[in-house]
Structure 1
Amino acid sequence: MSVADRLDLTLRLVQGSDRVSVAELAQRLGVSEMTVRRDLDALERKDLVRRVHGGAVATRTRAEDAGFSAREPWQAATKDRLGAGVAAMVEPGSRVLLDAGTTTVHVAEHLAARAPLTVAVLSLQAAVRLADRPGIDLIVVGGRSRAGERSLVGPLALRTLESLAFDCFVMSIGGVHAEHGWSEFSLDDAAVKQAGLAQAARTVAVADATKLGVRAFSQVAPLGAVDSLVTDAAAEDPETHPNGPHTLKALREAGVPVVLA
């Protein structure tokens, strides 16, 4: 796992808990406690976490700095491959619900080539990518824009989703765990994903390899709730992603095909 990837995951693990210990982070990331301490020091210098005895807590006053704009450049090439892989699985003429997230923005870029499509988006960034594209009938799901992420959440978003039906839900995810299934760092985002799962005939999950083996704050669904996962080939490498092979095995045993991009 690259330093940028590890910092990304460390930050989101801290954000998803009231307090997280160095030992817990080391176990979940598969690195030494010394590495975790260095990473926490780096995040503290950016005012993204606050070190406490034996661990860290999130710095809420500057949460926007840890959001979409901060994560967007990380693993851009990998996320673009994932985006192309997901888009190739969407049939022209489909009604698609596109989740929020840095990876699904790349999916949006590639979906234009699969037109004609009706695409409902759960993020303002994806809406910008798809606006005015030929053959794309764009629907922006209503709701509250979550600060830092610009994902559309809340009661209005949920009511809108409950009134629609989709052929395919492209779902991003904070973590996927062999025992605990699909999970998200935000309660609001988790609720929207649960609504998307309920309203779609098929769900394609997309996540880079750093999300494998991660248990985030709020459970979204059990492993078998999605129809396929698109991730990067590094997920099979136990040296860079210690939890990757075990998680992939559990997914396949749950009947979830895995596509490596």
Structure 2
Amino acid sequence: MGVANRLDLTLRLVQGQPPGERVSVAELAQRLGVSEMTVRRDLDVLERQGLVRRVHGGAVAARAREEGGGFEARKGWQTATKDRLGAAVAGLVEPGSRVLLDAGTTTVHVAEQLAAQAPLTVAVLSLQAAVRLADRPGIELLVVGGRSRPGERSFVGPLALRTLDSLAFDVFVMSIGGVHAVHGWSEFSLDDAAVKQAGLAQAARTIAVADATKLGVRAFSQVAPLDAAHAFVTDAAAADPVTHPGGPPTLDALREAGVEIHLAP
């Protein structure tokens, strides 16, 4: 697993803990498949960026995350991979579709590519995606609204859920924090998980997307079983058992659940 991939997943695992609770170095090493020394070095990097706070034997999420650090720190990681994922997802969307676009750093790259599939009606669940799609020819942009989650600028809460309940979509592009052979799709935030569940219920087809580091990961809050999605887009590294031991068995479980697999080169 590359350094950027590992930092991304480490940050999400720390931030996925309940407020004030730590995740131990030993647990992170086990989840990531690396040494405890490597985990300590990575936590030092994240602490210098103000994203985590080191405590005895582990780390907790830093308050800087509530001031925009989470998304801003991650958006530059794995940019080339996310560009490829964005293009692969956009290629699965038919012109004329009504699309619900999830929040997340990867779906920002999807937003950049969707203009090529115009005309589209696109409802967005993040401020970042709204900026990318505003005033693009052939794109009718809907901003779902709700509470902007600090640090992520994703729309969550009762207002977002009520809005989604009143709409119907052809496609839901779902970004996901973890995909596990047994525990299915999961997220690091209860708020984000609730919005994703609403999106799944309101869409005729769901395309899930995540980079290879999310395979084999069980995040804090379960979103749905594997067969809730119709297609899954990830990068080709997910099929490499050396760099991503959790990848191949998770891909096998997805195929057994009837999910189409698309590996972006």
TM-score grouping bracket, smaller chain normalisation: over 0.9
SS of residue paired to 1:202: strand
TM value normalised by structure 2: 0.95
- Unaligned segments of structure 1, at least 5 residues: none
Tell me which residue corresponds to 1:36: 39
Tell me which residue corresponds to 1:203: 206
Cα deviation digits, residues 69-111 of structure 1 (max 9, x gap) = 1111111111011111001101111100000111111111111
Greater CA drift, 159-168 or 68-77: 68-77
- The list of structure 1 runs, each at least 4 consecutive aligned residues, that deviate by more than 3 angstroms after superposition, is 61-66
2: CA distance, partners of 1:167 / 1:108: 16
Please say if 1:255 is aligned against 2:264.
no
Tell me which residue corresponds to 1:11: 11
2: CA distance, partners of 1:66 / 1:235: 27
RMSD: 1.2
TM value normalised by structure 1: 0.97
Tell me which residue corresponds to 1:132: 135
1: CA distance, partners of 2:31 / 2:192: 22
Name the aligned partner's letter for residue 81 of structure 1.
R
Q: Against the structure 1 CA distance between its residues 102 and 91, is the aligned structure 2 distance closer, same or farther, given a 3 Å change threshold?
A: same
Is the 1:170–1:205 Cα contact (8 Å) retained in structure 2? yes
Please say if 1:177 is aligned against 2:180.
yes
Tell me which residue corresponds to 2:197: 194
Q: What displacement does 1:60 show?
A: 2.6
May I ask how many residue pairs the two structures share in their alignment? Answer: 261
- Unaligned segments of structure 2, at least 5 residues: none
SS of residue paired to 2:169: coil
Equivalent runs, 1:1-261 vs 2, <5 Å? 1-17=1-17, 18-261=21-264
Is the 1:48–1:63 Cα contact (8 Å) retained in structure 2? no
Greater CA drift, 66-75 or 118-127: 66-75
Q: Against the structure 1 CA distance between its residues 189 and 20, is the aligned structure 2 distance closer, same or farther, given a 3 Å change threshold?
A: same
SS of residue paired to 2:204: coil
Cα deviation digits, residues 170-227 of structure 1 (max 9, x gap) = 0001111111111111111111000000000000001000111111111111111100
Greater CA drift, 55-64 or 231-240: 55-64
Q: What percent identity do the matched residue pairs reach? A: 84
